[in-house]
Amino acid sequence: MSIAAVNDQEPDPEELMREYVKNRGDIFEEWHFMSKYIPRTIELQHDASGYILKNDAKSTSDQELSLPMRELTALCMLSAKSDLRFAANHVRRLYRAGITNAVIFEAAEAIAPVVGHSTIALVAQAILLANDPKYPFGQMPEGGEPKELTPFPEMKLGRIPLKPLTPLADTENWKYALAIDPEFAKRTVRFVDHCNAVDRQKPHALGRGIRALVAIAALCGRGQKEKCAEQIKIAYAYGLTKRQVLEAISCAQNMTGAVSSEIGIEAMRLVDAGK
């Protein structure tokens, strides 16, 4: 059980920040400032966000998504908000976990159809900032970006659908668009399918089902319950579990609020109800 769950007393700000830095590895200076005024808020925030991102002493053994998968989602969500100062810190955290730039860009591809194609460029800016020696937040591994990828569990998941899925080009919305502006429809569908690793032959780390998890988090942040439900169905079709989907939903919470988790939960309930 977490400290926040059992301690009703206002925490000591200095002790609180020592624990925060110990669990997370680093922290931005504004957290030290905020803790002087709202220590209980920061304590509860770290208790929740630390669990979501699997910080030391905050994670539990039953969590299914890996730390790299959570960090990839967090990085893309932060980049989508143009919060590059925070995002660069997550790049360095991914580097320390052995995740290469190539895999980071795969996650950027997965979020792009939901939040905008320019987000890929924002992720690139976060990477460049993380590699700037003047950037002070988070430790870079010796030698910089990992030259070889350290495998993580999601690389083996979500690659083969367990049941047939309707191609994007055959969905009612894009058939409708195709009849009006075929070039717009064809070119957009081709780009989205590429970002989602649909029938991609080139070796890649993140399969279609795992990319759906990134899209799910992003759709929660945008309040798109019905679209989120569509991606949840895809994740399930690729063999991912309810726990994995809910954990992906939670990865949007730090950037978009607890209400985004509620939207994701409502989307899961829609799928459970067969809607």
pLDDT in tens, 154-191: 999 999 999 999 999 999 999 999 999 999 999 999 99
CA pair distance 85, 52, nearest whole angstrom? 20
In order of 28, 76, 187, the CA distances from 105 in angstroms are 25, 9, 21
CA angle 225, 184, 167 (to 5 degrees): 55
State the architecture of 168-272 in CATH terms. Up-down Bundle (1.20)
Look up residue 156 and give its DSSP letter: G
Q: What is the pLDDT of residues 183-231, one digit of tens each?
A: 999 999 999 999 999 988 889 999 999 999 999 999 999 999 999 999 9
Within 10 angstroms of residue 197's Cβ, the number of other Cβ atoms is 22
CA pair distance 250, 262, nearest whole angstrom? 9
* Residues 258, 251 contacting (CB under 8 angstroms): no
Domain boundaries, the chain: 3-52, 67-153, 168-272
- Tokens at residue 32, please? 């030290």
In order of 33, 119, 124, the CA distances from 113 in angstroms are 37, 9, 16
pLDDT average, residue stretch 78-96: 97
Helix (H, G, I), strand (E, B) or coil at 177: helix
CA pair distance 268, 52, nearest whole angstrom? 18
Q: Look at residue 206 in the predicted model and tell me its pLDDT.
A: 98
pTM: predicted TM-score of the whole model, two decimal places: 0.93
